[in-house]
Amino acid sequence: MQFPGLAKPPVGIVFDSTMGRIDDVLALAMLHGFDGKDQARIAAICVSSADLQAAQFCDAVGRFYASATTGPAAMFMHFMPIGLADSKPAAESPMLSKAVYPNSIKSINDTADPATLIRNELMAQYDQNAAVVLSGPATDLAKLLDTFGAKEWVARKVRLLCVADAGIQADTAAAEKVFAEWPTPIVTVGREIGEALPFPGDSIEKDFAYASAHPVADAYRAYRPMPYDAPSWALAAMLYAVHPNDGYFKLSGSGNRRELIFDPDQKDRIIKTYIEMASAKPVARKPRHPVDEKKDEKKDDKKEEEKKKDPAQ
Amino acid sequence: MITKKALPRRTFLRGMGTAVALPFLDAMVPALAAATTSKPPVRMAFVYVPNGIIMDGWNPDYEGKLGELPRILKPLEPYRQDITLFGNLTHNTGRALLDGAGDHGRCCASYLTGVQPRKTVIDIKAGVSFDQIVANQVGKTTRFPSLELGMEDARQAGDCDSGYSCAYTNNLAWKSETQPLPPVLDPRALFERLFGNGMALTPAARARENLYRRSILDFVSDDTRKLETGLGPTDRRKLDEYLSSIREIERQIEKAEKDNAQIDPHMEKPYGVPADFAEHFKLMSDMMTVAFQSDLTRVITFLVTHEGTSRPYREIDIPDGHHPLTHHRNQPDLIEKVTQINSYHVRQFAAWIAKMRTIREGDGSLLDNCMIVYGAGLSDGNRHLHEDLPTLIAGRGGSHFKTGRRIVYRKETPMCNLYLAMMDRMGVHVEHFGDSTGRLEALDLT
C-alpha cells in the first residue's frame, strides 16, 4: 500500500514464484530486506503452484519479518494474504515440508486468487511505481491479463516485468501469452546469470545467525545437504526490479523485450547486496494506515490557538 | 380477480357481481394474484449497518451447515435454515487506494457501486449502484422501481469523513455516478409515499372508502350492459365504443386506486419518527414487508444508520457514541459495548425476518422469494478493514439458494461477485460489475 501526502514511496514489488527453489526463498527474503530498508515495498506475494505449504511458508516469513513491530503499530498491522494458484499441484519440497513457523494459513480459503490479489494491490500503487518479478511459470500473470480491467491497471501502474527464465517453461502457453500481451517492458534473466552469481552458502551460518530460528536459513539447510552455493536467478530478477538504474546489470538490445547481461566487474557488489538484503534483520514497521497529517495539522492549529489564549499552557 | 397483467375486466364485470363482494386484498394485490398462476417475483433488499462489526462475535469457527451461531448472530439462530453466511468477501474499492483517510466515506459509497468514490465534498462521483441497475429493469413492473430507506441524518452536503462528502456516508443507492438517492427516514413520509397522502388513518376507514368507490363502478357497468340487446350494427358499434371508453375509465380508476390507496398496509399511519430505535426499525421493516408483499417494489436499500455515526444507544444503556466505541484499541470494555450494539441491530433484523417467514406466498413464504442482505462496508471497525466483510443473505432468492450454510470463499473475493450472482436471480444479466472477477459460486441448490 502506498499513500499520498508522504514522500513518494519506493517501488511496489509483486513477487510471483513457485517458491519451489531456494533462490525463490532467498529472493523473498531479499524483498523483505528491501522493504525494511525502504528501498522497495511489498505489493503482493504469490505462489504459482497449488502448494499450500509454499503459501504457509511465505506467510510465516512475512510474520517473521513483522516480529520486530510492537506496540500500537503492531495492533494496526495488517497482513496481506498470500496469492496461491489453484491449478497444478506442486511436488513437495523438502524445505517447505514442515510449516514449523507461525502462520495463518490452514486451507486454500486462507489464501487469495493470485490474479485478483495482484489486480487489487496494483490499484493501490502510484502510476508507474510497481514492478513484477516472475520466477516460475507465468500462469498467474496470464490469468491476470484475462481478468476484466486488469490489463489496464498493469499498463498504468507497472513499469517493468522482470522474468527469471528458469522455470517459466512449466507453462509454455502462459509464457507465450504473457510475452505477447504484457503491456510494459519485459526484462528476462537468463540461466547463465543465476549460475554466474551464486549465493554463498556460508552466509547462512554467519549472516542469518542473529535469529536462533530463521525460516529462510532453515529452508536453505533443508533444500540440499550443506554446504552449497545457490544459483541466483530469482535474486537477480529481484535486484534488477528494485534497482534497475544502479548499474548492477547491463541490458541487451532495445525495445520492450530485453535481457540482463552479467557484468563481471559488478559480481562482488551484487553478491554483497544479495547477502545484505536477504539477511537483513526484521525492522519495526510504521502503521499501515498513516496518521492523517491534515487532521494533525488542524489539531496542532487548535492547540496553538489555545496556547495564544492561555499562555500558561 | 384484478391483476395488473391479465386484467380480466370482462369477467369481472359480467360474473363477479358487485365489487363490494370481492375480497379486497386478493383482488388488489398483483403479487398475490400472480402467485396463483406463476412463480412469485424475486425481491432483494440491503440492510446496511455502519462502523464494522466485532468479527469474533460474527464469524462461526466452522464452515458448512449452520449450527450454533456466535453471539452477535444469536437472534437469527431460530431462522438459521433461512440464511446464508458468507466469508472473505472484499470491497477493494473501499480501501484507500492512494486516497488516504476516509474509510467510512469510501466503504459506504463503494458498497453497492463497486467503484472508488472521488474524494471530494463538492463534485461527488461514484457509480451507478447495482440495486439501481436491477431497479431499472425489474422496476418497470412495479409502482416504485426501488425504495431507499434509512433511520438517521440524511445530510447530503458537507464533509462527513476526512474530505468525503456526506453524500458518500449517508446514501447507499446511486442512480447515476453523480446522483445518490437519499433515504426516506420518516416512517410517516414513507407511509404516505407508499399508500397515498390522503389515506385515512385507520384500516377500517380505508376499507369503507374502497367499497364505496367500487360499487359505483359496478352500477355504471350493469346499466350499460342492459342496453346491448336489440341494437343494430351501428348502435352496437357505438355501444362498443362506449363500453371501451368505460373500460378506459375503469382502468384509470383502477390505476388511481392502485397508486393511491389500493394496498392496505394493515397498520396505523405513523405519526412521525419514533425516538426509540427498535420502534423506528419495526415501523420501517413493517412497511418494507408490505411493499414486498404487495409488489409495490422489488428493490429496497435500508441504511440503518449512516456510516461513521456517533449515535449513542441509550435504549440498551450505552450512552457512548457508536463510532468512537469502534476504535476500541482492543480494550475489552469497549469491545463489549460495540458487540452489544451489533447484537441489538441483529435483533431488530431478526424480528423482521421472523415476520417475513410467516407470510405465505406461492409454495413457501415471502422470505423464500427474497434475498435480504444484511451487512457492513467494514469488517473490523477499529482497523478499518475492507476484507471478510460481515455479510449474510436471508431468504432463498426464489427457492434457488441452498440456505442454512456458511460459505467461505478465498480471500480478496470481490463482493461484486455476489452482486453478479444476485442480479442473475433478479433476471438481470450483466457480464461485469464494479471490480467483479466472476460470479460467486456454490450458492444454488443445484
- pLDDT at position B232: 75
Give the DSSP H/E element, type plus range, for residue B361: strand B360-361
* B432 contacts on A by Cβ (under 8 Å): 148-149
Contact A4 B99 (CB under 8 A): yes
DSSP H helical segments within B5-101, as ranges? 9-15, 24-28, 30-35
> Could you tell me the three cell numbers for A57?
511458508
Do A83 and A44 meet the contact criterion of CB atoms below 8 Å apart? Answer: yes
Within an 8 Å CB–CB cutoff, is residue A113 touching chain B? Answer: yes
The three-state secondary structure class of A230 is strand
Within an 8 Å CB–CB cutoff, is residue A108 touching chain B? Answer: yes
* B95 contacts on A by Cβ (under 8 Å): 1, 124
Per-residue pLDDT of chain B (446 residues; tens, 9 = 90+): 333 444 343 333 333 333 322 222 333 345 444 444 578 999 999 999 999 999 999 999 999 999 999 999 999 999 999 999 999 999 999 999 999 999 999 999 999 999 999 999 999 999 999 999 999 999 988 999 999 999 998 789 999 999 999 999 999 999 999 999 999 999 888 988 887 765 656 667 666 666 555 533 355 556 556 666 667 777 776 566 655 554 544 454 454 445 544 567 777 778 778 889 999 999 999 999 999 998 999 999 999 999 999 999 999 999 999 999 999 999 999 999 999 999 999 999 999 999 999 999 988 999 999 999 999 999 999 999 999 999 999 999 997 889 999 999 999 999 999 999 999 999 999 999 999 999 999 888 65
Residues of chain A with pLDDT under 70: 1-7, 88-89, 97-99, 286-313
Report the topology of domain B39-195+268-425: Alkaline Phosphatase, subunit A (3.40.720)
Radius of gyration of chain A (CA): 20
* A3 contacts on B by Cβ (under 8 Å): 96, 98, 100
A and B: number of Cβ contacts within 8 A: 76
Contact A109 B411 (CB under 8 A): yes
Give the DSSP H/E element, type plus range, for residue B358: helix B332-358
Contact B98 A3 (CB under 8 A): yes
Contact B100 A75 (CB under 8 A): no
Within an 8 Å CB–CB cutoff, is residue B331 touching chain A? Answer: no
Within an 8 Å CB–CB cutoff, is residue A140 touching chain B? Answer: no
Minimal CA separation from A7 to chain B, in Å? 13
> What b/e string do you get for B9-32 counting C-beta neighbours within 10 Å, with b at 16 or more?
eeebbeeeeebeebebeebbbbbb
Contact B383 A5 (CB under 8 A): no
pTM: 0.85
> Could you tell me the three cell numbers for B104?
467510512
Burial class (CB in 10 A: 0-12, 13-18, 19+), B224: middle
Nearest-CB residue to A292 (from B101, B383, B432): B101
Which residue out of B62, B164, B410 would a mutagenesis test of the A interface target, given it has the greatest number of A Cβ atoms within 10 Å? B410
- pLDDT at position A13: 98
Contact A5 B100 (CB under 8 A): yes
Backbone angles phi, psi at B118, to 5 degrees: -70, 135
Do A201 and A226 meet the contact criterion of CB atoms below 8 Å apart? Answer: yes
The three-state secondary structure class of A259 is strand
Nearest-CB residue to A113 (from B87, B163, B410): B410
Within an 8 Å CB–CB cutoff, is residue A106 touching chain B? Answer: no
Backbone angles phi, psi at B32, to 5 degrees: -70, -35
Nearest-CB residue to A112 (from B87, B95, B412): B412
- pLDDT at position B226: 66
For β-strands A257-261 and A250-251, DSSP reports them as: antiparallel
Contact B411 A115 (CB under 8 A): no
The three-state secondary structure class of B297 is coil
For β-strands B64-65 and B405-414, DSSP reports them as: antiparallel
Within an 8 Å CB–CB cutoff, is residue A71 touching chain B? Answer: no
Amino acid symbol at B110:
S
CATH code of A11-309, in short, is 3.90.245.10
Contact B437 A147 (CB under 8 A): yes
Closest chain A residue by Cα to residue B87: A109
| CA–CA separation, A285 and B110 (whole Å) | 29
Angle at B330 between CA B328 and CA B334, to 5 degrees: 45
Do B5 and B36 meet the contact criterion of CB atoms below 8 Å apart? Answer: no
| CA–CA separation, B110 and B126 (whole Å) | 7
Contact A113 B435 (CB under 8 A): no
* A112 contacts on B by Cβ (under 8 Å): 410-412
Whether the CA torsion B288, B291, B295, B299 is positive or negative: it is negative
Minimal CA separation from A294 to chain B, in Å? 9
Within an 8 Å CB–CB cutoff, is residue B380 touching chain A? Answer: no
Burial class (CB in 10 A: 0-12, 13-18, 19+), B269: middle
Residue A48 makes CB contacts below 8 A (sequence gap 6+) with A16, A17, A18, A85, A114, A136, A137, A138, A139, A140
Nearest-CB residue to A2 (from B87, B98, B412): B98
Closest chain A residue by Cα to residue B162: A295
Longest dimension (CA), chain B: 91
| CA–CA separation, B417 and B427 (whole Å) | 16
Minimal CA separation from A64 to chain B, in Å? 21
- pLDDT at position B254: 53
Q: How far is CA A275 from the centre of its chain?
A: 16
Which residue out of A104, A116, A156 would a mutagenesis test of the B interface target, given it has the greatest number of B Cβ atoms within 10 Å? A116
**Among B113, B179, B180, B183, which Cα is nearest to B148's?**
B183
Amino acid symbol at B175:
K
Radius of gyration of chain B (CA): 24
Question: CB atoms < 10 A from the CB of B285, how many?
Answer: 21
Closest chain A residue by Cα to residue B103: A289
- pLDDT at position B225: 60
A59 to B8, B28, B204: CA distances (angstroms): 67, 61, 67
Nearest-CB residue to A123 (from B92, B329, B436): B92
**E strand spans, B50-104:** 64-65, 83-90
Closest chain B residue by Cα to residue A114: B412
* A117 contacts on B by Cβ (under 8 Å): 411-412
Closest chain B residue by Cα to residue A292: B101
| CA–CA separation, B18 and B107 (whole Å) | 55
**Among B51, B48, B46, which Cα is nearest to B309's?**
B51
- pLDDT at position B276: 92
Within an 8 Å CB–CB cutoff, is residue B210 touching chain A? Answer: no
Minimal CA separation from A25 to chain B, in Å? 23
Amino acid symbol at B13:
L
Burial class (CB in 10 A: 0-12, 13-18, 19+), A258: middle
Within an 8 Å CB–CB cutoff, is residue A129 touching chain B? Answer: no
B441 to A82, A108, B90, B274: CA distances (angstroms): 21, 15, 15, 41
Contact B162 A292 (CB under 8 A): yes
Minimal CA separation from B343 to chain A, in Å? 25
Within an 8 Å CB–CB cutoff, is residue B106 touching chain A? Answer: no
Question: What are the residue boundaries of the structural domains of chain A, listed by start?
Answer: 11-309
Give the DSSP H/E element, type plus range, for residue B364: strand B364-365
Contact A113 B329 (CB under 8 A): no
- pLDDT at position B21: 27
Do A237 and A135 meet the contact criterion of CB atoms below 8 Å apart? Answer: yes
Q: How far is CA B9 from the centre of its chain?
A: 32
Do A188 and A163 meet the contact criterion of CB atoms below 8 Å apart? Answer: yes
**Among A1, A74, A82, A83, which Cα is nearest to A41's?**
A1
- pLDDT at position B258: 55
Within an 8 Å CB–CB cutoff, is residue B408 touching chain A? Answer: yes
DSSP H helical segments within chain A, as ranges? 22-36, 52-66, 71-75, 114-122, 139-146, 150-157, 172-181, 191-196, 202-207, 215-223, 233-242, 267-278, 293-309
Residue B183 makes CB contacts below 8 A (sequence gap 6+) with B148, B149, B150, B154, B170, B171, B172, B301, B302, B303
Minimal CA separation from A217 to chain B, in Å? 29
Amino acid symbol at A262:
F
Within an 8 Å CB–CB cutoff, is residue B97 touching chain A? Answer: yes
Backbone angles phi, psi at A169, to 5 degrees: -70, -5
Contact B162 A295 (CB under 8 A): yes
Do A202 and A271 meet the contact criterion of CB atoms below 8 Å apart? Answer: no
